[in-house]
Amino acid sequence: MKKFKCFIALDLKSNAQNIGIVKKLYRHVYGFKVGYRSFYNNRSNELISEIKKSKCKLFLDLKLHDIPNTVGSAIDSLSNINPDFLTLHISGGNEMMKAVLNSIKKNKLNTKILGVTLLTSLDGKDSEKIYKERNTGKLVKKFAEIANNLNIHGLICSGDELKVLRKYNKLIKITPGVKMFARNDDQKRVTFAHNALQEGASFVVIGRELIESKKPLYLLKEYGEQNKNKNLWTK
Ligand code: C5P
């Protein structure tokens, strides 16, 4: 069955609410993203089992960033879960990324590692303070180059960065911060999911627009209808 090339971010307050979203949408979407809110919760194992049962992909968005030995052993601890995708910060450095990739191999996991370049919440002023580079596009490219040289499997990138990162055509690109439908209040710099997919994103991440809706399945189907020939679906 064709699936919408999207990860649904399960960021609702309760485990039961997140499980409800999985049950409603699993037939139609490629995967689910479990981030801080739902992972650091004493019942996250129930949510993860539900996702595994659904046969959708599990994306653990833990944005690892620590010394190499610590991140390597974090992978040992995640080996029971064996997520399909896992994030780390590229700014953690080469040795940290190598430790993650080695630990994935050692534990015989299928996990694809995705590098976070620059958080979208940081702007030129922040990046100048932290990295002495005001041009965020340049910085993102530099991080992408480092990750690519280490054979990281993919990148998390905003819709604005897809063009700059086009040359890394072997890397999986996952784009969060996208919308499905236009709304009057936030029109200025919105990337729509179908635009991101047409511009090179392998998958998009959609959260609140669907999970906070009373009719997520209806919205998903409506969106599919409106964008029939726009590369939204897996083959
Ligand atoms: O905004 P929305 O609820 O669709 O966000 C879904 C997910 O995408 C969140 O879990 C967040 O981690 C991620 N996100 C991001 N960068 C943004 C917006 C959202 O990484 N600019």
Tell me the per-residue pLDDT of 33-54, one tens digit each, with 9 for 90 and over. 999 999 999 899 999 999 999 9
Residue 143 in contact with residue 115, Cβ under 8 Å? yes
Give the single-character DSSP code of 91.
Answer: G
Residue-wise pLDDT for 180-224, tens only, equals: 998 765 545 679 999 999 999 999 999 999 999 999 999 999 999
In a domain, 189, yes or no: yes
pLDDT in tens, 124-176: 999 999 999 999 999 999 999 999 999 999 999 999 999 999 999 999 999 99
What digits encode the pLDDT tens for the residues 43-88? 999 999 999 999 999 999 999 999 999 999 999 999 999 999 999 9
What pLDDT, on a 0 to 100 scale, did the predictor assign at position 231? 81
| Interatomic CA distance for residues 38 and 152, integer angstroms | 25
The residue contributing the CA closest to ligand 1 atom 19 is 177
Residue 234 lies in a domain: no
Cα 106 to ligand 1 centroid, rounded to whole Å: 31
Is the Cβ–Cβ distance between 77 and 50 less than 8 Å?
Answer: no
118 lies in a domain? yes
Q: CATH no. for residue 116?
A: 3.20.20.70
Domain membership of residue 99 (yes or no) is yes
* Domain region containing 39: 4-226
Does residue 64 fall inside a structural domain? yes
What pairs with residue 48 in β-bridges?
none
Structure token pair of residue 59: 């994306």
Q: How many residues does the chain have?
A: 235
State the Cα–Cα distance between residues 223 and 194, nearest whole angstrom.
9
Distance 177 CA to ligand 1 centre (A): 5
Contact in structure between 174 and 157 (CB atoms under 8 Å): yes
- 151 Ramachandran zone, left/alpha/beta (phi>0; psi -120 to 50): left
DSSP state at residue 187: -
Nearest protein CA to atom 12 of ligand 1, as residue: 35
pLDDT at 74: 97
Query: Which residue's CA lies nearest to atom 4 of ligand 1?
Result: 207
Q: Rg for the chain (alpha carbons), in Å?
A: 17
pLDDT for position 186: 52
**Whole-model pTM over 0.85:** yes
- pLDDT at residue 149 in the model: 97
Calculate the average pLDDT of the chain: 94
Binning pLDDT at 50, 70 and 90, where does residue 230 land?
Answer: confident
Is 183 part of a structural domain of the chain?
A: yes
Q: For ligand 1, is residue 200 a contact (CB within 6 Å)?
A: no
pLDDT of residue 184: 60
The total number of structural domains in the chain stands at 1
User: Considering the domain boundaries, does residue 74 fall inside one?
Assistant: yes
pLDDT at 36: 97
- Residue 231 inside a domain? The answer is no
Tokens read off for 231: 């590369």
**At residue 228, does pLDDT exceed 70?**
yes
Closest approach atom of ligand 1 to CA 179: 4
- Give catalytic status of residue 63 as yes or no: yes
